[in-house]
Amino acid sequence: METAAAVARFLASPKLADTTRRSYATDLRHFVTWLEGRPTPIDEVDVRVLTDYVTTLDRSRPRLAPATSARRISTVRSFLRFTFGAARVPDVPLAPRLPHRLPEAPKQEEVEAIVAGFAGSSALALRNRALFELIYSAGLRSAEAVGLDLADVDFEQELVRVRGKGSKERIVPLGERAAVAVARYLRDGRAELARGADDALFLSVRGRRLDTSTLRRLLRHPHRLRHSFATHLVEGGADLRTVQELLGHSSLSTTQIYSHVDAKRLRKVYDFSHPRS
């Protein structure tokens, strides 16, 4: 089997989001270059070959972060599983064990300050305020936010239809403040940006769909608002299964990075309620 053709088929999968596809392409370029240096045909990759690759990653200079090594190994596993089937992928731990720590999440007053920083009555100011109100209100990923169409926001039902990773759809509530900000943008700002029949909810200055690079120029780490969304839900009493559904995580284990927030909340309830606390 030709390695380049196999990689191309994998990257062409419609289940991959654009950002995931770019990340996979970078990781597989590194793996294929290493594989050709041995040289080893792609259909002869087994646990021994993968173990050698892990050793190479461990010895890289400058030293790779554990998360980078784990991501590259995960990418290779996904590629091999897609190409040869799950039975051909060795079910043994190869990646370094990563600490399950909660990413830094702005507190509620910090979120208020971030969103308030996008004040103004211009079309762009109204767009930006609506964009970040919605990201925090619905816990959206950057790609999910810019991927929204006009029809995805249902003001009557107070819902947002979100297309997440792997083209999976989920329905999330539309918060009151986000609804007000989005409605104002649609009423007073979007028409000024529109240049044609683009159905995108959030438009660029050229009238095209806003992209994630522009979003990140507006706010350096927009994903922190998604972490705040989840953290504040758990602090408010939401169970992890509900948070999993709202975030669009395919596995509860991904959501469990927020479990220590839930433990803190339960401790507060216990200390307040139990006579022998």
CA distance 277 to 265: 14
Which of 53, 136, 185, 258 does the annotation list as catalytic? 258
Which of 224, 226, 227, 232 does the annotation list as catalytic? 226
Question: Do residues 186 and 131 make contact, with C-beta atoms less than 8 angstroms apart?
Answer: no
CA distance 232 to 226: 10
Query: Side-chain half-sphere of 83: how many Cα atoms within 13 Å?
Result: 22
Phi, psi of 149 (to 5 degrees): -105, 165
CA distance 142 to 77: 26
223 a catalytic residue: yes
Query: Side-chain half-sphere of 162: how many Cα atoms within 13 Å?
Result: 26
Which of 165, 170, 184, 265 does the annotation list as catalytic? 165
Which of 141, 190, 224, 232 does the annotation list as catalytic? 141
195 a catalytic residue: no
Give the CA diameter of the chain: 69
Ordered strands of the 153-154 beta sheet: 153-154, 159-163, 169-173
268 a catalytic residue: no
Residue of 113, 95, 106, 147 lying closest to 235 (CA atoms): 106
227 a catalytic residue: no
Question: Do residues 226 and 70 make contact, with C-beta atoms less than 8 angstroms apart?
Answer: no
Active site residues: 141, 165, 223, 226, 249, 258
